[in-house]
Structure 1
Amino acid sequence: MPAPQSSTSNIRPQEGRPVLGHVNLMVDTLIVNANIDDLRAIVRATLASSPPSMAGTFSAAARNRLQQTNANVIRHTGNLFGTRPDGLAEPTPELRSVLVRVRALYGAGLGLASLKVLVSVVEATGGRRWHEKGEMENTFSDIDADISQALQSTREEIDGGRVPDLSKAREMLRELRIAIQESQREVESWGGVFPFERAAATLEFWKL
């Protein structure tokens, strides 16, 4: 008998938690053995051919899983950026891994949780310098876009009634503003180009 799995048809809306059920043995065998690209294609096809409510059920199950695995926790922020022989910063595999988790969080509707991680990413740029062009430029462009997407996800999270304590949301936005403002001041002090313009503009026009 297969191990209990989260049944996507048994999400309690009021709790956002799945009821444990059993997945068909053959389906479970497919899930265990299919490669990631095949699973992505299967999930997309299933959601596209299902009623709109299925996407909500899927997202609720995703949020539950991400919260269980503490996906918004960064154990060490000191290894998000490395140092090249010339002393300039470069992205690390750990940073790329963290950004993948960030996208999973805000994609599932956990915008506030993703902002917590992104604050740490912005703060980790402190004390570092980089070339305006090249790999770091592309990395910062991605992070800037991620912050904007996370803010949009946070709006939807609040509008959807999934943030019972708005004071926590305000505090997280305050921390993000401070991190971005500190980054801007530091980058300007050494003549660099501020990398989070889009995020700063989005924050400027959003009052909670």
Structure 2
Amino acid sequence: MAKAQKMEDPAVAEEISRYRLPDGLFAPETSLPHAFTVVANRVSLTLQKMYSERFGLSVVGWRLMAILGTHSPLSAKALAELTAMDQVSTSRALDQLVAKRLVSRRVDPSDRRRVVLRLSKKGEVVYSEVVPVLFAAENALMSGLSAEDSRMIRSIMRKLIDRSAEVLPDDGDWQTVLRDYGYADSSGLTPADAENSAREEPGVPSE
């Protein structure tokens, strides 16, 4: 068995510790990413039972086909950006879709340096069979909501998608996110800053 990786640079660990959360402040299972993942996984599982059995598609493969079904032609890079998936996973899934003759890969006539992707005729047939199940799954989710709640959720989701592209870009890094949006108290101090400030106050003994 491979040995566990050693802790990272102590400076990195210290940076993370600056933003540690007070006990009980946050529960991962109540976070937005967790909620989105739970919903997405349940929808994906429902769809996968259909498209995996009928067409041998993977979750990633279907997600790429879903975008190509309405946004063709696209480059592999643009497709990865629209699905927020890394280009390695996208490329691997595309190779499988091309091998299944569900997606065509052609040189763009208007720009010979660019390769574009689109659904093949066979891919369009598969897409037309899966989309009704996706539509039904979405309707099932929204059926318990009022018309106003439904409109509000769709509006907020569009804003969150745009916001995620702005503050969590593909070329971003977690340390910048932590520094810009990590925990700070009402005065704007991180826990480490607050401790240091307290130690520096007259009459407060240092450890």
TM-score tier after normalising by the smaller chain length: under 0.3
TM-score (normalised: structure 2): 0.23
User: Which protein has greater RCO, CA pairs closer than 8 Å, 6+ apart?
Assistant: 2
